[in-house]
Copies of this chain bind each other. A is one copy, B any other.
Amino acid sequence: MLNKELYEKTCVKAYEYLVKAGIAVTEEERKNMEVAEYGLNDLDNIGLELIVYINTMRCCAKELILFPGQTCPEHRHPSIAGELGKEETFRCRWGKVFLYVQGAPAKQPKAAAPKGRENCFTVWHEIELNPGDQYTLEPSTLHWFQAGPDGAVVSEFSTRSRDEFDIYTDPDINPALNRKA
User: Could you list which residues of chain A lie within 8 angstroms of chain B, going by C-beta atoms?
Assistant: 21-26, 29, 53-54, 56, 58-61, 84, 87, 89, 91-94, 131-134, 136, 155, 157-159
Contacts and interface: CB of A to CB of B under 8 A. Distances in A.
A92 B24 CA distance: 9
A61 B94 CA distance: 18
A89 B59 CA distance: 10
A30 B54 CA distance: 27
Nearest to A139: B58
A23 B22 CA distance: 8
B56 A87 contact: yes
A61 B61 contact: yes
Contacts of A60: 59, 157
Given A89-B54, A91-B53, A29 B132 contact: yes
B22 A22 contact: yes
Given A25-B132, A53-B157, A61-B157, 12 more contacts: A24-B92, A26-B132, A54-B136, A54-B157, A56-B87, A58-B84, A59-B87, A59-B157, A59-B158, A60-B157, A61-B61, A61-B155
A53 B89 contact: yes
Nearest to A29: B132
Nearest to A59: B59
Given A24-B132, A53-B89, A91-B53, A157 B159 contact: no
Nearest to A54: B89
Contacts of A133: 26
Contacts of A61: 61, 89, 91, 155, 157
